[in-house]
Structure 1
Amino acid sequence: MAGSTTAERGERQQKSSGPPPRPRSRRARLRVIVILGLALVFLGFPTVWLFYGSDWLRAERVSVSGTRVLTPAQVRAAADVPLGKPLISVDTDAIESRLRRKLPRIDSVDVVRSWPDGIGLKVVERTPVLIVQKGGKFVEVDDEGVRFATVPEAPKGVPALELTLSRSSSAAASLRRFGEARLVREAVVVARAVPAAVARATQTVKVRSYDDISLELRDGRTVVWGSSEKGAVKARTLTALMKASPGARYFDVSVPTAPASSVS
Structure 2
Amino acid sequence: MSRTGTTTRDRTGRSRRTSPRRTSPGRSAASVTPLPSRRKPARTDRRRRRPVQLGLALVALAALLWLLFAGPLLTVSSLQVDGLRTLPAEQVREAAGIERGTPLLRVDVDAAEARVARLPQIASVEVTRGWPDSVVITVVERVPVAIVGPPGERSLVDAEGVLFDMVTGEPPAGVVPLDVADPRPGDPATLAALAAISALPADVRAGVAGAAATGPEDIALTLDDGTQVRWGDASESAAKAAALGGLIEQLASGALEPAETIDVSTPDAVVLR
TM range (shorter): 0.7 to 0.9
Q: Which of the residues 191, 194, 207 maps onto 1:185? A: 191
Shift of 1:42: 4.5
Q: Which of the residues 152, 168, 172 maps onto 1:152? A: 168
Q: Answer yes or no: is the 8 Å Cα contact 1:52–1:88 preserved in 2.
A: yes
Q: Which moved more, 1:30-39 or 1:220-229?
A: 30-39
RMSD of aligned residue pairs (Cα, Å): 3.5
Aligned to 2:219: 213
Q: Which of the residues 243, 257, 270 maps onto 1:259? A: 270
Do the aligned partners of residues 252 and 82 (structure 1) sit closer, same or farther apart at CA in structure 2, a change above 3 Å counting?
same
For 1:115, give the aligned amino acid.
Answer: W
- Separation (CA, whole Å) in 1 of partners of 2:44 and 2:229: 91
Shift of 1:242: 3.8
- Separation (CA, whole Å) in 2 of partners of 1:138 and 1:195: 24
TM-score (norm 2): 0.71
Aligned to 1:46: 63
1:140 aligns with 2:146: no
Aligned to 2:86: 69
- Separation (CA, whole Å) in 1 of partners of 2:185 and 2:101: 49
- Separation (CA, whole Å) in 1 of partners of 2:96 and 2:231: 43
Do the aligned partners of residues 248 and 122 (structure 1) sit closer, same or farther apart at CA in structure 2, a change above 3 Å counting?
same
Shift of 1:119: 2.0
1:200 aligns with 2:169: no
Q: Answer yes or no: is the 8 Å Cα contact 1:164–1:208 preserved in 2.
A: yes
Q: Which moved more, 1:27-36 or 1:109-118?
A: 27-36
Q: Secondary structure at the match of 1:119?
A: strand
- Separation (CA, whole Å) in 2 of partners of 1:27 and 1:224: 96
- Separation (CA, whole Å) in 2 of partners of 1:180 and 1:122: 27
Q: Which moved more, 1:82-91 or 1:202-211?
A: 82-91
Do the aligned partners of residues 38 and 154 (structure 1) sit closer, same or farther apart at CA in structure 2, a change above 3 Å counting?
same
For 2:267, give the aligned amino acid.
Answer: P
Q: Which of the residues 234, 243, 258 maps onto 1:248? A: 258
- Separation (CA, whole Å) in 1 of partners of 2:152 and 2:249: 38
Q: Secondary structure at the match of 1:188?
A: helix
For 1:237, give the aligned amino acid.
Answer: A
More helix by share: 1
Do the aligned partners of residues 30 and 200 (structure 1) sit closer, same or farther apart at CA in structure 2, a change above 3 Å counting?
farther
Shift of 1:124: 2.2
Q: Secondary structure at the match of 1:70?
A: coil
Q: Answer yes or no: is the 8 Å Cα contact 1:138–1:153 preserved in 2.
A: no
- Separation (CA, whole Å) in 2 of partners of 1:69 and 1:236: 30
Which structure would you say has the larger Rg?
Answer: 2
Do the aligned partners of residues 61 and 164 (structure 1) sit closer, same or farther apart at CA in structure 2, a change above 3 Å counting?
closer
Do the aligned partners of residues 225 and 47 (structure 1) sit closer, same or farther apart at CA in structure 2, a change above 3 Å counting?
same
Residue correspondence of structure 1 range 14-93 to structure 2 within 5 A: 40-93=57-110
TM-score (norm 1): 0.73
Unaligned runs of 5+ in 1: 3-25, 166-174
Q: Secondary structure at the match of 1:134?
A: coil
Q: Which of the residues 108, 112, 117 maps onto 2:128? A: 112
Q: Secondary structure at the match of 1:54?
A: coil
Q: Answer yes or no: is the 8 Å Cα contact 1:189–1:228 preserved in 2.
A: yes
Aligned to 1:99: 116
Q: Which moved more, 1:75-84 or 1:222-231?
A: 75-84
Q: Deviations over 1:204-239 (max 9, x none)?
A: 011122111011111222211110011122223333
For 1:252, give the aligned amino acid.
Answer: D
Q: Secondary structure at the match of 2:75?
A: coil
